[in-house]
Amino acid sequence: MQISCFDDLLLAASQQPQGQRLLLVFASAELPEEATPAQRADFAQGHGGALVPAMCVDQTPDEIGNFERLVQEANQFGTAWQVVFVSTLSGQGSEPPSSKTAEPVLQRMVEAIKLGTLANMIAFDTTGQAIDLV
C-alpha cells in the first residue's frame, strides 16, 4: 500500500496482524540565528529553516481516529508545528506495545530529528499529506 496521506497510514497500521502504536513527533520550523539575509527572506515566505521537535506523543490507531482529530488534539497544546514525523512500533499478537515500551523509541526519534536523520519515519504536513524532506 502506498501511503500518500496520514489516514492511509492509519488504515495500514490498523490492518497489521500485530497491534501497532504510532510514535509522533511534531516539529516546528525555526530560523537559525546565523541565517543569511536570503535565508531570512525565504523563511519569511514560508520556506527553509530547521525543523525542531516541539512535542511528541504515542497512540494506537484507534486512539488517534483520524488526522483531523489528531490536529485538534495537538492544537490544544498551543505549540505551532509544520511537520509531524511518524513511525510505528509493533506489539505481540493483537496487543500494541505499551507507552512505557514506546517511550525510549520515541526519544530516539526526537534525537534523530535533531540530527537530521529521518530514516524510518514518514513526514506529514499540516494537511496530513505525506511530504519528502530530502
The tens digit of pLDDT for each residue in 84-132 reads 999 999 999 999 999 999 999 999 999 999 998 898 899 999 999 999 8
- Answer for the pair 59, 21: CB distance below 8 angstroms, yes or no: yes
Record the cell numbers describing residue 61, joined without a space: 490507531
Residue 134: which pLDDT band, with cuts at 50, 70 and 90? low
Identify the burial level of 37 via C-beta atoms within 10 angstroms of its C-beta, where 0-12 means exposed, 13-18 middle and 19 or more buried: exposed
Stated pTM of the model:
0.89
**What radius of gyration do the chain's Cα atoms show?**
16
Res 64: pLDDT: 96
What are the CA-CA distances from residue 6 to residues 33, 35, 91 (Å)? 33, 32, 21
Note the pLDDT tens digit of each residue in 37-71: 888 888 888 777 788 999 999 999 999 999 999 99
Residues 6+ apart with CB under 8 A from 79: 26, 28, 54, 55
